[in-house]
Homo-oligomer: A and B are copies of this chain.
C-alpha cells in the first residue's frame, strides 16, 4: 500500500484527511503541536502538555465508522465558561496522556478508541513556543500572535519564525517522512501552523533523505502575515522554511462570490491569486477546489475534501 504523509495544522489539513481516508492508502498525518490559544492554550499552561487541538482534529477527521459518530461528536464538544470553554477531546487527550504516560501513547490510545484510518503523529514531543519577527521589527511571542499579528493596517509581513526552546522531530514522524511515497504539505495558517513543522530540528534532514514525491497544497485565502500573497509567494515561503522545492503545487482557481470576497477583505484577508510565475513546467496543478460554506451564519471558504484528495491521489 502506498504511503502518504501529510504535514500541516488547521482546517485545510483536516479537509484533505477527510478526503484521503476513503482511499486504499497508508496515511500518516504529522501535526504541529505549538498552538497556544483557547482550550489548548489553557491545558498547555496548566499542565505543560503538548498542544492537543490539531491532534484532536486530525483524529476526528480520520475516524471512520458510522457507529462511532457519537464518539467523534464528543471529541469535538466544547463546554461553556463554567468549564473554562474546554474542548472535551482535549480533556480526553489530557487524561490519556496521564494514563499512558506521554502524548505519543495518548494519541495511539485515542486513535484506537476512534478507530481511525491511518495514524496521527506529533511533529515533536518537545513542548516549545512559537516566536516570530515582523518586517517592522515587532516580536510576536506566541502561536496566537504569529497567526494574528494584529497590526493596525493588517499588512505587516512576517520575516522570521523560530521555536523557543529548540524542539526535535519525533522519531516516528522522521521515519514516516523518510519512508513515504508521497508527502503533502497542507494548507493552513502559514507561519502559525504549517511552517512550525519545518522549524523542528531534524525535519529538513528527514525531508531531504526521503525519496517521496513532494506536493504542496496552497491556501485559498490570505490573512494577516500573508497579506497580498499569491500562490508563488506561498510556494517561496514553503521552500524557504522546508528546503523543499515541491514536485507539485496544487492550487485553487475558483474565485469566491463577491460578497464572500468583500467579507474577507473587511478582515484584511483576500483571495489567493493563482499567480504561478516562477514555477517549473509541470509543477503547477490548478483546479476549482474552493467551496463556500455557511459556518454558524458566517460565510467561509474551504477546500473541497473529495476533489483535493483525488488530485493528491493522482500524484501517486
Query: Which A residues fall within an 8 A CB radius of B?
Result: 46-47, 67-68, 70-71, 73-74, 77, 79, 82-83, 86, 88, 91-92, 94-96, 98-99, 109, 112-113
- Knowing A98-B77, A99-B73 touch, does A82 contact B113 (C-beta < 8 A)? no
Q: Are B88 and A74 in contact (CB under 8 A)?
A: no
Instruction: List chain B residues, Cβ under 8 A from A68.
Output: 113
Q: Are A46 and B82 in contact (CB under 8 A)?
A: yes
Complex CA gap A83/B42 in Å reads 11
Complex CA gap A89/B112 in Å reads 18
CB of A44, distance to nearest CB on chain B (Å): 12
Complex CA gap A109/B83 in Å reads 22
Complex CA gap A68/B71 in Å reads 13
Q: Are B70 and A113 in contact (CB under 8 A)?
A: yes
Complex CA gap A171/B70 in Å reads 25
CB of A58, distance to nearest CB on chain B (Å): 19
Instruction: List chain B residues, Cβ under 8 A from A74.
Output: 92, 95-96, 99, 113
- Knowing A71-B113, A88-B91 touch, does A99 contact B82 (C-beta < 8 A)? no
CB of A96, distance to nearest CB on chain B (Å): 7
5 closest A-B pairs by CB: A77-B95, A46-B82, A70-B109, A88-B95, A71-B113
Instruction: List chain B residues, Cβ under 8 A from A88.
Output: 91-92, 95
Instruction: List chain B residues, Cβ under 8 A from A46.
Output: 82
Instruction: List chain B residues, Cβ under 8 A from A95.
Output: 74, 77, 79, 88
Instruction: List chain B residues, Cβ under 8 A from A82.
Output: 46-47
Instruction: List chain B residues, Cβ under 8 A from A96.
Output: 70, 74
Complex CA gap A227/B16 in Å reads 64
Instruction: List chain B residues, Cβ under 8 A from A79.
Output: 91, 94-95
Complex CA gap A82/B42 in Å reads 10
Instruction: List chain B residues, Cβ under 8 A from A94.
Output: 79
Complex CA gap A70/B71 in Å reads 14
CB of A141, distance to nearest CB on chain B (Å): 23
Partner of A83 from the list B70, B71, B73, B91 (CB cut-off 8 Å) is: B91
Closest to A67 in B: B112
Q: Are B112 and A99 in contact (CB under 8 A)?
A: no
CB of A112, distance to nearest CB on chain B (Å): 7
